[in-house]
Amino acid sequence: MRQKLHIILGVPGIGLVIGLCMIAQPQTVKRPLTFEHERDVDTSQWHYLPQWEGSLLVGYEDFESSAPRIFAMDRDGKREEIRYELPGSAWIYVYNVGAGADGSIVVAGGALSSDSRSASFITWISPDRKRQVAIRIWPYIAMRATVAADGTIWAAGSLNDEENTRVVADNVIRRFDVSGKMLSSLAVQARSRDGRADAAQSSYLVASRDRVGWFTNGCEYLEFSLDGVLRDRFDGPAGLDWHGLDGVGLSDDNNLAIGRNPGGKFFEVLALDRTARQWVPVSLPEPMTRVWNGLLGFDGRALVTQYGNGRFRRFKPSGAQAINR
C-alpha cells in the first residue's frame, strides 16, 4: 500500500557516525534466555538494515532524496510503503524510523526547502495511517525516535542554537505527545564513540511495556521510566569495535539483547543480566547462528533476526525465561 505524506520541515545535513562499542566477555548465569526457531519470513529486500519495534519491522529507502520511502512489514512480511512528498522542498533526509506496539510509526529527519530554509522534524503516523502529525522541533535535532507503551513519542538528539552555529547540548532525551506538545526534556551524560560528545547518532532507542532504553553509540545503556526519569545505566559490554555490533532489542518483559558478529566469524546474541550487571549469552538453536545474521529486535517476547537481505527469522522463547525488572 502506498500513501503520500505531506510535511514541511528540514534540518542541516549531518553525517552518520561510526562509533566504537565495547563488548564484555559473556559470563554464566543461572537462567540464560533460551529460544527455539519458530519460522522464517521472506519479504522484499532492503538496502538499509531495518529494526523491529513494537509490532512492525520498519525502515526506509532513498533516505536522502526529494521523496524518501518509509516501509513497514508485519509478522507475515506484508509490506506497506509511505512516500514523502514535500512541495517546495528539494531535499529530505531521514535519520531514523521507529514504531510503537499499537502500529504507529515515527520518523525523525529534516529537509531543505526551495528557498534554502531548513528545520528538523519528527512525524507521527497513526496506526490506521489516516492521521499524520508533523512536529517541528528546531533547534532540537532528533537522531533517533520511538513510541513508548503509553503512546508518547521519544527522541534522542542534540540541541543547537537558533542560528545553527553551535551545539548547545548533546544527548538530550525529549518526549512529545501525538499533538506535538513537548512533555519533557532531559540532557544526560552518556558515553559516546571515541569519547566524543554526541552519543545519539547510530544509537538505538527501544521501548518495552513500562520503560524506554537508550543504547548509545559508545555502547552504554541508559534506561528511563515512562515519565522521562533516568532510572539506571549499565556499562556496555567491553572489547569489540562497532563492526561487531549487530542490533539491539528490548522485549515486552524487559530483556535487553544485543547482536554481535566479531570479525564476520560467527553471530551471537548477548542479554543484559541487570542484577549481576553482566552480559550473558542467549541460547539459540544450531545452526541458526550464521555469519550474515543480525539482531532486528523483539516482537513482544519473540526474538527477530535478519537472515539474508529481505528475510527475517523468528525465535520463540522456550523454557523458563529470566525476566529482568
Q: Go through the domains of the chain in sequence order and give each one's CATH number.
A: 2-317 (2.120.10.30)
Q: Cα separation of 98 and 264, whole Å? A: 27
Instruction: Identify the three-state secondary structure at position 283.
Output: strand
Instruction: Give counts: helices (H), strands (E), the chain.
Output: 0, 26
Rounded Cα–Cα distance for residues 117 and 124 (Å): 22
Q: Is the pLDDT of residue 254 over 90?
A: yes
> Which of 49-58, 139-148, 176-185, 237-246 comes out lowest in average pLDDT?
237-246
E strand residue ranges, 30-152: 35-42, 51-53, 56-61, 64-65, 69-73, 79-84, 89-99, 105-113, 118-125, 132-136, 140-147
91-149 pLDDT, tens digit per residue, is 888 999 999 999 999 999 987 876 667 788 999 999 999 988 889 899 999 999 999 99
Per residue in 273-293, pLDDT (tens digit) is 999 999 999 998 876 666 567
Angle (nearest 5°) at CA 103 between 231 and 204? 40
| Phi, psi for 194 (deg, rounded to 5) | 55, 25
Question: Is the separation of the CB atoms in 109 and 92 below 8 Å?
Answer: yes
pTM tops 0.85: yes
Q: What percentage of residues in the chain have a pLDDT greater than 70?
A: 82
Task: State the amino acid at position 52 in one-letter form.
Answer: W
Q: Which residue has the higher pLDDT, 279 or 322?
A: 279
The answer to whether the CB of 41 falls within 8 A of the CB of 75 is: yes
Percent of the chain with pLDDT over 90: 58
**Comparing 241 with 90, which gets the higher pLDDT?**
90
CA distances in angstroms from 264 to 27, 291, 294, listed in the order given? 22, 6, 11
The DSSP code for 50 is -
- Which range has the top average pLDDT, 45-54, 99-108, 292-301? 99-108
CB 319 within 8 A of CB 34: yes
Mean pLDDT, the chain, whole residue set: 85
* CA terminus-to-terminus distance, the chain: 39
